[in-house]
Structure 1
């Protein structure tokens, strides 16, 4: 649903010389999900092959020799499955069938771009189906949410052991981690290093104005995994797009037709696909209540099927 800046009190009005960005969806592989692990009241035994969407965001930039800063949000699946670790391979075996081509690099090339043309890669989080092949992006700065680098190196407890992540996958010299989303000396020190400062924006308690011109905001979207972030972008006067990553895995959760499924955690308790189900549910509720914004989550099969003309070189 589109809106005008004047009837949306959630977000700030456009400035007189407002910058807008062009967003294009990118195919980045498919995986197959059992519905019972993701939504309540699932049809018994139903499995759906869904995309892991990525997005190209082009920002007009006088500081770039190209006149545009090219940003990619999420990298989907690796085109070479041998690049996954043993524990990841076991997980992937439960998500078959998968489609590995086209991946992000191939999708960019089909529209006339090369991976080397990309200036920035922002990862919503570092699960296997979103990290893709970082080595393709030789000129890009990588940006990840707070705590991500520690998660890659040390894991996140018994449900998220280090074996599920590739610690050496991101180019550390070109990777910046956003500051912690809290007050205090640690957060301020991070902010001084990155020049990124968290601030509330409408319904969202913590956002970063990424380009400093109100065109693209990184949104803290906690609950799914340490460092999980989303993007909110202005694409035209009165038009906003929200890229939700894995805030939820089925758009029916956003519309409250379904809830977040719980299942046996193997340790005598219940869990969901989120690290913190309660926090994830609060994040989804916040996103679902935002007015006048097109929300696209990474694994929305129906959105992909209905919007093929909006894939690169088309646009949202």
Structure 2
């Protein structure tokens, strides 16, 4: 696969290429102080934003599959640990209904019909209520289970995570992407790994062809939190959707209108909302190229459309209510 620095080249469809259907799901809302997320922010401005989740249906034989990407907020905050609840107090107001389970039900689908849940990462506003999905296999990025059990260094202590968050016996990690990390506090990978293999895809250093048929790719998206992943989905001939999770928290960063905010880390230094700001900026730079007209092509040519959606994009939600389940992107 070409890795031309000017053009992102996506793989051409196979002769009998399957496509996925994507529907947005409500995952609750939280309120973010803009000064912690974007540069040149009004220091007093707070924005209530969604925590978007997505239903991805793969209708190809032999068995159609239902996959969910991210689970949003828990509807019952007692499911969070005390330190998590303290953090949530700083993100009020929050909205927890409808959550993902309710959103599915409104479109005629039960949580028990979900085959797979992929979490972009395990911050409190993305883990939702895993117990709703009694028949699903959970898939997380490398190092996530160690992060849940032990935390990830001074700024990400164990108290901010719940070691029992995900169902034991039904949770697997993607394999490590690199043998080393730029962060010395990066957690170790779990032995309970999937059999997937990371490979380069044009400008993206590491992706997993999740179904093995070119319809859905898991993209390593480092920087925000250990194990952070995105999805790249093929939704039709020449049509793609990129689900960016928390690669950044405001679409203006992707458009180059704002930067990633830095603020006092409490120890005399600066930090951002990302575990590794430099890596996060690199991830943003790669994704931003998807927005530039003519910078993305499919092998063999032809018309191309690609849509990028971030987890907390309020404007996208307001403009696309008809694309929530049972509607489609």
Bin of the TM-score, shorter chain as denominator length: over 0.9
- The residue aligned with 1:207 is 207
- Note the C-alpha offset of 1:77: 0.1
Matches within 5 A, 1:257-268: 257-268=257-268
1:166 matches 2:162: yes
Q: Give how far 1:193 is off.
A: 5.5
Mark the CA change 1:192 to 1:153 in structure 2 (over 3 Å): closer, same or farther: closer
Per the TM alignment, residue 175 of structure 1 is displaced from its structure 2 partner at its CA by 0.5
Aligned equivalent of 1:53: 52
The TM-score with structure 2 as length reference comes to: 0.89
Aligned residues: 302
Show structure 2 runs of 5+ residues with no match: 1-6, 181-188, 291-295, 297-304
Is contact 2:199–2:206 with CA below 8 Å preserved after alignment? Answer: yes
User: Where does residue 301 of structure 2 map in the other structure?
Assistant: none
Counterpart residue number, 2:293:
none
Say whether 1:302 aligns with 2:315. yes
1:102 aligns with 2:98: yes
Could you tell me whether the CA contact under 8 Å between 2:150 and 2:158 is conserved in 1?
A: yes
Corresponding residue of 1:25: 24
Asked if 1:128 corresponds to 2:124, the answer is yes
- Report the TM-score, using the length of structure 1 for normalisation: 0.93
Which runs of no fewer than 5 residues in structure 1 stay unpaired?
1-7
Select the structure that is richer in helix: 1
Report how far residue 192 of structure 1 moved: 11
For residues 1-316 of structure 1, what are the structure 2 equivalents within 5 Å? 10-64=9-63, 68-182=64-178, 194-290=194-290, 291=296, 292-316=305-329
The two structures, once aligned, show a CA RMSD in angstroms of 1.6
Residues 50-72 of structure 1, C-alpha deviation per residue, up to 9 Å, x if partnerless? Answer: 000000000024242xxx10000
Q: Equivalent residue for 1:5? A: none
Q: Which runs of 4+ in 1 moved over 6 A?
A: 189-192
Q: What is the alpha-carbon distance in structure 1 between the residues aligned to residue 193 and residue 277 of structure 2?
A: 32
Contact in 2 for aligned 1:57/1:71 (Cα 8 Å) = yes
Displacement, 1:267?
Answer: 0.8
Report the CA distance between 1:12 and its aligned residue.
0.7
- Give the whole-Å Cα distance in 2 for the aligned partners of 1:194 and 1:102: 32
- Aligned-pair distance for 1:182? 2.5
Aligned-partner SS, 2:131: helix
CA distance change for structure 1 residues 190 and 156 in 2, over 3 Å: closer, same or farther?
A: closer
Does structure 1 conserve the Cα–Cα contact (< 8 Å) formed by 2:174 and 2:193?
no
Q: Match of 1:152, SS?
A: helix
